[in-house]
Amino acid sequence: MGGAPEEPRRVVTGTRGVEGVEAVVLDVLGTLVDEPGGLRAAIREVAPSVDEASVEALLSLWQRHVAHEQRRIAAGRRPWATTTTLDGEAARRVADGLGLGDPHTLARLATASRRLPPWHDSVDALARLSRRFPVLALSHADHTALLGLNAHAGLRWHQALSAETVRAYKPAPEVYRLAVDTAGMPPARVLMVAAHAWDLRGARAVGMSTAHVSRPVGDPPCPSDDFDLRVDGLHALATALGA
Could you give the number of structural domains in the chain?
A: 2
Q: Which of 114, 130, 164 is the last residue of a domain?
A: 114
Specify the pTM. 0.91
Q: Which of 50, 79, 114 is the last residue of a domain?
A: 114
Distance CA 75, CA 128 (A): 39
Q: Does residue 46 lie in a domain region? A: yes
The answer to whether residues 77 and 90 belong to one domain is yes
Q: 116 near 29, Cβ under 8 Å? A: yes
132 vs 14, more confident: 132
Partner residues linked to 139 by β-bridges: 162
Q: How far is CA 8 from CA 5, 212, 234, 235, in A?
A: 9, 15, 10, 9
Q: Tell me: the pLDDT tens digits for 22-53?
A: 999 999 999 999 999 999 999 999 999 999 99
Q: Does residue 3 lie in a domain region? A: no
The answer to whether residues 80 and 193 belong to one domain is no
- Measured from the Cβ of residue 35, the count of other Cβ atoms closer than 10 Å reads 22
How high is the pLDDT of residue 163?
97
pLDDT confidence bin for 18, thresholds 50/70/90 = confident
Q: Does residue 4 lie in a domain region? A: no
pLDDT confidence bin for 2, thresholds 50/70/90 = very low
Range of the domain at 56: 35-114
pLDDT confidence bin for 66, thresholds 50/70/90 = very high
Q: What is the CATH number of the domain that holds 204?
A: 3.40.50.1000
Any residues with CB less than 8 A from the CB of 201 and at least 6 apart, and which? 171, 225
The answer to whether residues 164 and 191 belong to one domain is yes
The answer to whether residues 138 and 233 belong to one domain is yes
Q: Which of 61, 87, 114 is the last residue of a domain?
A: 114
Distance CA 59, CA 129 (A): 32
Distance CA 212, CA 114 (A): 24
Q: What is the CATH number of the domain that holds 100?
A: 1.10.150.240
Of 59, 60, 83, nearest to 73 by C-alpha is 83
Taking the CA atoms of residue 193, residue 198, residue 202 and residue 204 in that order, the dihedral angle to the nearest 10 degrees is 60
